[in-house]
Amino acid sequence: MEKNLISIYDLTVREIKEILEFAIDIKKKHLKGQEVLTSGLLKGKILGLIFQKPSTRTRVSFEAGMKQLGGETILLDIKESQLSRGETIADTAKVISKYLNGIVVRGEHKFLLEFAKHALIPVINGLTEVTHPCQILSDLLTISESGKNFKNLKLVFVGDGNNICNSLMFAAGKLGIDFIACCPAGYEPGAQIIEKATKDAKKSGGSIDLFHNPAQSVKDADVIYTDTWVSMGQETEVKKRLHDFKPYQVNKELLKYAKQDCVVLHCLPAHRGQEITSEVLDGKNSIIWEQAENRLHVQKAILILWLGNKKNKMRR
């Protein structure tokens, strides 16, 4: 593994599969009430959390996961740190590295990269405007649990070409998934993201495509994924975005074009009645709640692999 977890793009296929296999094992023990087998793996370890943006699932899953593994967490409020008074990111990263065993950063991508450049401990991306690797690893676990294979899988993202779309595209390129980003004109993923994912897809046997027609894009889809139309920091664009994305709602009518056993994903929070209807979110095709649960198990796998002693295997 790399020292840091910044992007799915930086992981090899083998590493992605290792994280997923580890998460499956952790989840099995969790569901069987065998927490004693994992409870001490990070005893004495302390994880820092820097959250420049609001969070529910990322923060709670990392905090709960760390404590279930025997470790502790410290929430670092930038407004109450010397960063708010002009201390450089580099100096902060160097000092914090002397106190902690790892850190999760959720905020601006340039802040994350600068922090990771100077930190001496593992830095984990808890979400930036560019990528969200922890979320997508949970998504991959959820898709796998639904009984679907990554090879020859048709995964369609309907909505904004945002950090989720970028990360899904990277994962698809690595794993041989046939991926379609269905976005309104002007909201497509960046050219560099597409280029990187396409290069990987050519090696893995997958494909990366862009569509603008939702019904056409989800035809025979195995997985449909959507996300909010207005991400954090885009609040001034609400009126325009709601207008531009209106035809891209994931609803019962759109699902008719997909395979009967198509599953629906949403990273949450959901804006019911906008990007997805309640009928679909709570419907038989939805595996959204399982997807949310899996954040905990994947986070624990990440924490063990990045913060723990990798030579020590979990007690079977």
Cα–Cα distance measured from residue 17 to residue 6, given in angstroms and rounded to the nearest whole number: 17
pLDDT higher than threshold 90 for residue 184? yes
Per-residue pLDDT tens digits for 139-167:
999 999 999 999 999 999 999 999 999 99
Can you give the pLDDT at residue 310?
52
pLDDT higher than threshold 60 for residue 311? no
Whether the CB-CB separation of 20 and 140 falls below 8 Å is answered with: yes
Q: Give the DSSP H or E segment for 156.
A: strand 154-158
Reported confidence tier of residue 234, pLDDT bands at 50, 70, 90: confident
Q: Which residues contact 100 (CB under 8 A, 6 or more apart)?
A: 46, 47, 48, 74, 121
Give the percent of the chain with pLDDT over 90.
91
58 is annotated as contributing to ligand binding: yes
Least confident of 93-97, 218-222, 307-311: 307-311
Give the percent of the chain with pLDDT over 70.
97
106 is annotated as contributing to ligand binding: yes
Tokens of 94: 């160097």
> Does 267 participate in catalysis according to the annotation?
yes
Cα–Cα distance measured from residue 116 to residue 94, given in angstroms and rounded to the nearest whole number: 10
Cα–Cα distance measured from residue 305 to residue 2, given in angstroms and rounded to the nearest whole number: 10
DSSP structure class, residue 315:
P
Can you give the pLDDT at residue 313?
46
Domains of the chain: 8-132+295-307 (3.40.50.1370), 147-286 (3.40.50.1370)
Torsion of CA 135, 136, 138, 140, to 10 degrees: 170
User: Which of the residues 52, 68, 135, 299 is marked catalytic?
Assistant: 135
Least confident of 88-92, 169-173, 229-233: 229-233
- Whether the model clears a pTM of 0.85, i.e. scores above it, the answer is yes
> Does 227 participate in catalysis according to the annotation?
yes
Can you give the pLDDT at residue 2?
74
Whether the CB-CB separation of 126 and 163 falls below 8 Å is answered with: no
Q: Which residues contact 174 (CB under 8 A, 6 or more apart)?
A: 8, 9, 11, 12, 13, 16, 200, 204
> Does 106 participate in catalysis according to the annotation?
yes
> Does 241 participate in catalysis according to the annotation?
no
pLDDT higher than threshold 90 for residue 129? yes
User: Which of the residues 132, 241, 266, 297 is marked catalytic?
Assistant: 132
User: Which of the residues 183, 227, 262, 274 is marked catalytic?
Assistant: 227
User: Which of the residues 165, 183, 262, 267 is marked catalytic?
Assistant: 267
267 is annotated as contributing to ligand binding: yes
Cα–Cα distance measured from residue 134 to residue 105, given in angstroms and rounded to the nearest whole number: 12
> Does 68 participate in catalysis according to the annotation?
no
122 is annotated as contributing to ligand binding: no
Can you give the pLDDT at residue 35?
76
Reported confidence tier of residue 36, pLDDT bands at 50, 70, 90: low
163 is annotated as contributing to ligand binding: yes
pLDDT higher than threshold 80 for residue 255? yes
133 is annotated as contributing to ligand binding: yes
Cα–Cα distance measured from residue 237 to residue 240, given in angstroms and rounded to the nearest whole number: 6
